[in-house]
A = this chain, B = another copy of it.
Amino acid sequence: MPYTYEYPRPALTVDCVVFGFDDEALKLLLIQRGIDPYKGSWALPGGFVRMDETTETAAMRELEEEAGVSDIYLEQLYTFSEPNRDPRDRIVSVAHYALVKLSDHRVTAATDAEDVGWFPADDPPPLAFDHAKILSIARDRLRAKVRYQPVGFELLPTKFTLRQLQHLYEVVLGRELDKRNFRKKVHSLGILKALDEYETGVSHRAAQFFKFDRAKYRQLEKKGFNFEI
């Protein structure tokens, strides 16, 4: 125990709320804890912050280590500091939230985790610590953010149909959208590029695939927009 300080210090951890989308529902990445406390419970991936990294770096590292997930969109959410949020010790946690393309990420359990998996973000299993509260705040943030930032796209595969995009917005916002108004709005933003490719093997008219216009997408990300649909 070589680390000694004049005053007591809380331990500092990160937790990650990782959202994915599978064309049906919004999913949440959880790990099953392999150690106490809450051994066997499902929890948000996360861990201790090292002395040479920012919390964002720590969050990315933990996701890679615990779930094999890398190269994702991630940002800071909120810092949770209630003195008794962890039964062991005073632990302050900086929560982050992340968006991934589910199709690109096969998850694999690793250090400190017995298992890892995707669960419905609106109906997860009981969570360890105060993770249910963290999740709730992350859902609110995603719902708010989707209205003025094109973050929704982080959740879709590179090529996608307008139906997929609309369904994603419907799931995140929790209500149905009008097809014509949705398409009008999305096209008016000018961030989609139509591909010369269509769905195959569907028993109805094949939908066209789209991808993003990266330049315009970044531009819009910066100045924000108003998705009032």
Interface residues of A, Cβ cutoff 8 Å to B: 1-12, 48-49, 51-56, 76, 78-79, 81-83, 90, 92, 94
A3-B9, A9-B11 are known contacts. Are A79 and B55 too (CB-CB below 8 A)? Answer: yes
A94 vs B5: C-alpha distance in the bound complex, in angstroms?
20
Copies in the complex: 2
A1-B6, A4-B1, A5-B3 are known contacts. Are A51 and B90 too (CB-CB below 8 A)? Answer: yes
A76 vs B95: C-alpha distance in the bound complex, in angstroms?
13
Q: Is the CB of B1 within 8 A of A5?
A: yes
Report chain B residues within 8 Å CB of A5: 1, 3-5, 9, 11
A173 vs B21: C-alpha distance in the bound complex, in angstroms?
37
In-complex Cβ contact of A76 among B4, B6, B8, B79 (8 A): B79
A222 vs B22: C-alpha distance in the bound complex, in angstroms?
32
Report chain B residues within 8 Å CB of A90: 51
Report chain B residues within 8 Å CB of A54: 81-83
In-complex Cβ contact of A9 among B12, B52, B56, B82 (8 A): B12
Report chain B residues within 8 Å CB of A94: 79, 81
Report chain B residues within 8 Å CB of A10: 9, 12, 49, 51
A76 to chain B, nearest CB (A): 6
Report chain B residues within 8 Å CB of A11: 5, 9
A78 vs B54: C-alpha distance in the bound complex, in angstroms?
13
| Known A3-B8, A49-B92, A55-B81; 9 more pairs at CB < 8 Å | A1-B5, A3-B7, A5-B9, A9-B11, A10-B49, A10-B51, A49-B81, A79-B94, A81-B94
